[in-house]
Amino acid sequence: MFSYNNKISIRQLQALLILDIFGTGVIVLPRRVTQYANQDGWILVLLATILALILIYIMTSLATMFPNKDFLEFTSIIISKPVAIIISLGFIIKLILGTCLELRFFSEVVKQTMLYNTPFGVVCLIILLVSGYAAAKGYETRGRLAEILIFVVFVPLIIVFVIAAAGVDFTNIMPILKTPPESLLKGTFFTLASFNGIELVMLAIPYTNNKKKIKKNIIYSILFTGIFMTAMTIITICRFGYAETKLQMWPIISMTDTINIPGSFLERQEALIMSFWIISVFAIVNAGLFFSSLLAKSIIKKGKHSYYIIIFIILCFLMLFVPSDINQVYDFINLMFVTFGVTYMIVIPIVLLIIAKLRRLGVKYEEN
């Protein structure tokens, strides 16, 4: 089916999941959470992390009940094939739309921070072609690549933010819990959008070698990502204060540009940070193309998955031109989350797990 084989290790799955979640939305995360909760914005990230951990537990519980079945197969067992096909088609739409919006958002950031005169279509096309080529090589290739990229992305970022934490005013997050409970709940719900991508675990588990320790290790991955995003948010709010953070277009990039790295020969540190996010966006686009092609192949049952990747690359590129500006991209992203995001991150996993339990389906019941 793929180059070499279609299996990856748990460590590779962890790396892929972290990269799939850690998208360009993180760049604006401090601004979004301070709009809901002022200095308590970091608490929203922490609460969203807890909610994401609960959801990932549900998703892994569901997928591990059918360890050797892909998404369409185990969904067909639970709620019939016609309904499973409809759900899978919706999943494809979510993946393609999410990939387009992530890519368009990223291209706008690049255009406004580094490549001022470069058309966003050129940036998007390059990333689409490179990501599509890697996706066509199969899941093992994605896993091996993620093992390398995870260190390339996070080690420099951790160093930068440790240095940043040394010179901030932590009184800027005081007083704690001043935000009304209803604002905390609303903000937590929308902050959950930063964990977009956790639903991919339902598609990935069948292609993992050792499934016995998957649940625990995936939970660790989400916990690491959530703690890292919480730390980034705290440092940014502490450096700028919540009032100024609200006014920053890209607060994470602006914050890193204020850091004075001892002995640094770099004059534009935000360009260095953006280069790391380019890798993360590559991983996200790669995942969108790869899993949408797998779902399409499962439904149609004809051709190689690489053929579908070509189709989706063309479709993605054309859809990139639909939003007229960055504000419309924001609107589409919010609309995507409250529709497809909530459906595939929350509703469908919970409903499928409940039905599977009630019908006593899956490996657990087959072994009894």
- Cβ atoms of residues 236 and 22 within 8 Å: no
Given the structure tokens 């999941």, which residue do they identify?
17
- Cβ atoms of residues 137 and 290 within 8 Å: no
User: Which residue type sits at 298?
Assistant: S
Look at residue 91 in the predicted model and tell me its pLDDT. 96
- Cβ atoms of residues 92 and 232 within 8 Å: no
CA 167 to chain centre: 30
Token digits of residue 181: 């409970």
* C-beta neighbour count of 301 within 10 angstroms: 8
Look at residue 4 in the predicted model and tell me its pLDDT. 44
CA atoms within 13 A on the CB side of 291: 34
Task: Give the residue among 263, 245, 280, 241 at the shortest CA–CA distance from 151.
Answer: 280
All domains of the chain, ordered by start, with CATH? 10-367 (1.20.1740.10)
Model pLDDT for residues 66-107, shown as the tens digit of each residue: 988 999 999 999 999 999 999 999 999 999 999 999 898 888
Look at residue 123 in the predicted model and tell me its pLDDT. 85
The pTM (predicted TM-score) of the whole model is 0.89
Look at residue 267 in the predicted model and tell me its pLDDT. 52
Segments of the chain scoring below 50 in pLDDT: 1-4, 265-266, 368
Look at residue 342 in the predicted model and tell me its pLDDT. 93
C-alpha pair distances (Å), 367 with each of 1, 71, 231, 361, 363: 30, 21, 44, 11, 6
Cis check for the bond before 175: say yes or no (omega within 30 of 0): yes
Given the structure tokens 């995001």, which residue do they identify?
341
188 vs 40: CA distance, rounded Å: 11
190 vs 321: CA distance, rounded Å: 25
DSSP codes joined into one string, 217-237? HHHHHHHHHHHHHHHHHHHHH
Look at residue 5 in the predicted model and tell me its pLDDT. 52
